[in-house]
Chains A and B, each alone.
Chain A
Amino acid sequence: MAEATYKILVVDDEVDLEPLMLQRMRRDIRSGRYCFVFAHNGVEALEKLSEDEGIDMVLSDINMPQMDGLTLLEQIPTVDPNIKSVIVSAYGDMKNIRTAMNRGAFDFVTKPLDFADLRITIERTLAHLTEWRAALASRDQLVSLQRELDVASKMQKSILPTRFPSKGDYEVFAHMEPARNVGGDFYDVVNLENDRIGLCIADVSDKGVPAALFMMSSRTLLKGASIGCENPGDVLREVNDLLRETNDSEMFVTLLYGIFDPATGDFTYANGGHNEPLLVRPDGTSSLLPRTGGIILGVVPGVEFAHNTVNIGPGETLFLYTDGVSEAMNVEAEEFGMDRLAAIFAENPPRDAEATTMGVFKAVHAFAGETPQSDDITCLTLHRKEPGS
């Protein structure tokens, strides 16, 4: 296999060097590994560098008329910061060698030239150059990947509603914070017939891009299934079967969906393997909604989902969350846990959906402290106002 040709600029005011170099390096020139261009001082070298973008490395003498090698070293990065230079100095001239190294020379060789040693030095320099270029390419790829993730993150955030219904005596507020650029948690608030609303909270297995893709399709399927469907259990059955059809990687989503009827305060829900929501009473005491015995969505086809109805009375609050809340960890590796969540409501009985939602985020962040967030965190609050408040 033919190796890549490297172009080396040799800068020396001694005109004898050119034929000598071509003669001693003839094997590498003939094999196509090296080719040489020559300049006789720093000014000429800079001209060659700006004319020829194919030059990979510079081998330069120090003492030359017009512009010496040390000045050239300072100038090279202005033409191309990624060119590597090797300096040729008099034997034992540590002062100039130190200066050259401090000005960014990659290595040095001494006069009289030992061509075997020069060849090793050139190879070492080129090997470094190859790695350097690979690192630059990876960095560029990483930057472009990061940009794509930023766009994906914005797209994902934009499909989560940020305007919430607050008709009559109830209000809704929800918020999601992903652990990485993109996440697997989501929530939705769907307007249904007769002023009712569908509420959903969900958590896709794992995190990152695969979870985000699964989250997008889960959310779309849920939206489609929820409209015109009276029974939350039927909604989950449909979403489950559709997810199952195209799921070879055994991803899954835990999803709770319920319909709130403001006329009665009834909340009818079915649960696809998600943490049970909390019902908080006006005095701040709370309890988990009864289990309905569903399973995670996307794994087993043909599952039926039972539903249950609870009444949310005036002054009461329904709190939906993902395990990013209950399993948030602090520096001592303790979990936030359900007791701490219940304690927030006990100390400050919810009066407002937004303040309740954001208050939980604040408490979780304060608890976690310096510990990096390991899971997406999502909370959705529905609060019924007390009459006259």
Chain B
Amino acid sequence: MMEVTSERRGSTVIISTAGRVDGSNASDFQDALEANIGAEDSAVILNLAELDYISSAGLRIILLSAKNLRQREVGFSICSLSSSVHELFIISGFDQIIAIHSSPETALAAQES
């Protein structure tokens, strides 16, 4: 249903989430995000290219992560939204709360600038 993987580019971790995130696995999603973020990471990019669906329970986890990272002064952005998830981000105004990029490369470039 949901798969979370990560790769490192310097001090930035790119976390990719695939499948569905809803009320039934939102806490697993939260645990997976925390497990993939290291103490030394200076920025986190959440790659949602393979994300089919996210419910409000999943969006809340993204907000929580963003808040925690902001308090630790760790950068946070999201990239590669599918059109349906992007639509949801626009309707809910998430695109005004969290930086969104079209690809991991543009997200990385923005992190570095």
Contacts and interface: CB of A to CB of B under 8 A. Distances in A.
Interface of A: 203-207, 249-252, 254, 272-276, 291, 293-296, 299-300, 323, 327, 374-375
Contacts of B94: 273, 295-296
Interface stretch (B40-48, B60-68, B99-107): B60-68
Contacts of B90: 291
Nearest to B65: A250
A361 to B, nearest CB: 20
Given A206-B23, A374-B22, A273 B55 contact: no
A298 to B, nearest CB: 9
B22 A274 contact: no
Given A206-B26, A250-B67, A299 B97 contact: yes
Contacts of B110: none
B57 A296 contact: no
Given A250-B64, A250-B67, A374-B22, A205 B56 contact: yes
B60 A251 contact: yes
Interface string B4-48: 000000000000000000111010000000000000000000000
B33 to A, nearest CB: 13
Contact of A295 (B26, B53, B67, B93): B93
29 contacts: A205-B59, A206-B23, A206-B26, A206-B55, A206-B57, A206-B60, A207-B57, A249-B64, A250-B64, A250-B67, A252-B56, A252-B63, A273-B93, A276-B91, A291-B90, A291-B91, A295-B93, A295-B96, A295-B97, A296-B92, A299-B63, A300-B96, A300-B97, A323-B56, A327-B53, A374-B22, A374-B24, A375-B23, A375-B55
Contacts of B23: 206-207, 374-375
A294 B93 contact: yes
Which of B55, B56, B60 has the most C-beta atoms of chain A within 10 angstroms of its own C-beta?
B56
A29 to B, nearest CB: 49
Contacts of B92: 254, 273, 295-296
B97 A254 contact: no
Contacts of A273: 91-94
Contacts of A205: 56-57, 59-60
A207 B22 CA distance: 10
- Please name the 8 residue pairs, one residue from A and one from B, whose CB atoms are nearest each other, closest first: A295-B93, A205-B56, A273-B92, A206-B57, A250-B63, A205-B60, A250-B64, A273-B93
A300 B92 CA distance: 12
Contacts of B22: 374
A254 B91 CA distance: 9
Nearest to A275: B91
